[in-house]
Structure 1
Amino acid sequence: MTRNTTRAEPGKRNLSEADRAGALFVQSVEKAMSVLAAFHHADGPLTLSDIAARSGIDRSAAQRMVHTLRALNYIERDVDGHGFRPGLRILDHTLDYLRLNPVVREAMPVLQELRSEARERIDLSLFDDLRVIYAIRLQTKRQTFNASIVGHSVPVFCSAGGWAILSHLRESHAREILNRSDRRPFTPHTITEVEDTMAQVALTRENGFALATSQILSSEIAMGFPILDRTGAPVAAIHIAGSLSEWKPEAFSARMAPLGLQAARTLSKY
């Protein structure tokens, strides 16, 4: 059974009861954020009852949170009056994150040059436990709405960027991530078994880059290149993606590997 690729679920960000019991933990803030998170998988406006059910709080609490967030412009009424949707003010925080993140800030000119040389889609993803989140997306000739929007995410276990990141983790840590992952396939070719994925991770470590075919999309070939922080820990990955209708894996790898490796080395020095 395949599934969509819009948003992979986070892992370690899920709170425990010990987190909530801390003296400094503000539960009203958690409720407000759960109301905003209710829109993560929405296909359109949500009613108040929808928001309450998706956020796991009662309708009265949801009503108060929605009212407050509307007053602050973080939630707005849908133009047709059928429910609520995220407000414009949220984009202010998106901008703050992107402009202050050191990897993203340094990456744009490097990735623009990479796209001009590769002439294929270039993405920058950030490591978030079980998933990687796209922070920069540079399109070429195959423009689609979903593939051009930042904030989408894919699982680490079956993405080129994920394999690149796993290749720079301790083996025990990589296995722990895979064991916690929801490894349902995206395509008939998605690698889901832990040992098979670890074999890809070992190959990625040997080559310095990952090569993935038909893992997230059946027609896609993608390469992943790890970006490391000053301690050598993986924090992000560069993706170069093309179409299997236009590229053979060997030719794609030979053409893109030197370009991607150079870009990743440049950004690993931030």
Structure 2
Amino acid sequence: MHDDANHTDKTIPTNLRLLLLVEELARVGVPITPTAVNEVLGLPKPTIHRLFHTLEQEGFLQRDIDGRSYAPGVRLRRLASSILSTSRIRMVRQTVLNALAEDVGETCNIAIPERHAMVYLDRVETKWPLRIQLPVGTEVPFHCTASGKMYLSSLKPRLFAKYLNIVTLNPHTNHTYTEPAVLAAEIETIRDNGYATDNEEFLDGMVAVAVPLFDAQKRLMSTLSVHAPTQRITLDDLKAHLPRLQAAATELSELVLS
């Protein structure tokens, strides 16, 4: 759809316009203006603005900080999360996670970025009695978790700089990065390595490793991570499982795209 910019109002059925608008927003992956979307859809100007207004009023879109662009709103993000949790996808996803947890021997998680935190979408617990309880639906910070820092590394430099300018890097442990310059250096390392770690930065006594799950445009859509108590495993030992973690991430990405 997005490869053809010669659509007119007559060629797009009324009941498809909102869906195609949302599809274009998702394809671009950054806040976008009605004018930019309409370069693809080719609807009358009053129509495209009316559609954006409706989606904003109903909570599917929200205005970006510039006041002109729009990004997915709460209802659209929840819709995307619900689609990822449909029974067929979730069944196969659980199979991949179970196999990974069995091989690694520790708890494995899938997390998705929300506006202010990473949210656990799915997890498989370790069989060890000593475990760290972070159930599905738990929100964890961006700046001090493996999954959150993995997400931050996927942001364009301009957006990451904006994040650093407005966020308060609250300390959760003595190991949390609370200086913007130090966190920026850590994020640059993550970009180079392709994976992120949490060395007791979120919780004392917990280490974690995360890798990205990509969408069709090779953008980060979620993260796959494994975490464990330091009483049982070191961060270096956990990092030894990276090849297995990356293989599972590829399987999970292909599952969503198939």
TM-score exceeds 0.5: yes
Q: Is the 8 A contact 1:169 1:234 kept in 2?
A: no
AA partner of residue 262 (structure 1): A
For 2:228, which of 242, 245, 250 is the aligned residue?
Answer: 242
Q: Deviations over 1:118-155 (max 9, x none)?
A: 010111101113311001121112466842x2111111
Aligned residues: 184
The 3 A distance-change label for structure 1 pair 163 and 142 is farther
TM-score under structure 1 length normalisation: 0.60
The 3 A distance-change label for structure 1 pair 230 and 102 is farther
Tell me what 1:42 maps to: none
TM-score under structure 2 length normalisation: 0.62
Q: Deviations over 1:159-203 (max 9, x none)?
A: 101111222221222232333333211112111222211222122
* Residue 167 of structure 2 is aligned to residue 181 of structure 1: yes
Q: Is the 8 A contact 1:175 1:194 kept in 2?
A: no
AA partner of residue 242 (structure 2): A
For 1:162, which of 144, 148, 151 is the aligned residue?
Answer: 148
Tell me what 1:268 maps to: 253
Cα offset for 1:251? 2.1
> Which range moves more in the overlay, 198-207 or 137-146?
137-146
* Residue 219 of structure 2 is aligned to residue 230 of structure 1: no
Unaligned runs of 5+ in 2: 1-51, 60-78
**3-state SS, counterpart of residue 172 of structure 2:** coil
Tell me what 1:259 maps to: 244
**3-state SS, counterpart of residue 167 of structure 1:** helix
| Mapped partners of 2:90, 2:237: distance in 1 | 29
Cα offset for 1:157? 1.4
* Residue 190 of structure 2 is aligned to residue 198 of structure 1: no
Cα offset for 1:101? 9.2
User: How many percent of aligned residue pairs carry the same amino acid?
Assistant: 23
Tell me what 1:120 maps to: 106
Higher relative contact order (CA 8 A, sep 6+): 1
| Mapped partners of 1:103, 1:216: distance in 2 | 30
AA partner of residue 213 (structure 2): I
The 3 A distance-change label for structure 1 pair 201 and 105 is farther
Tell me what 1:110 maps to: 96
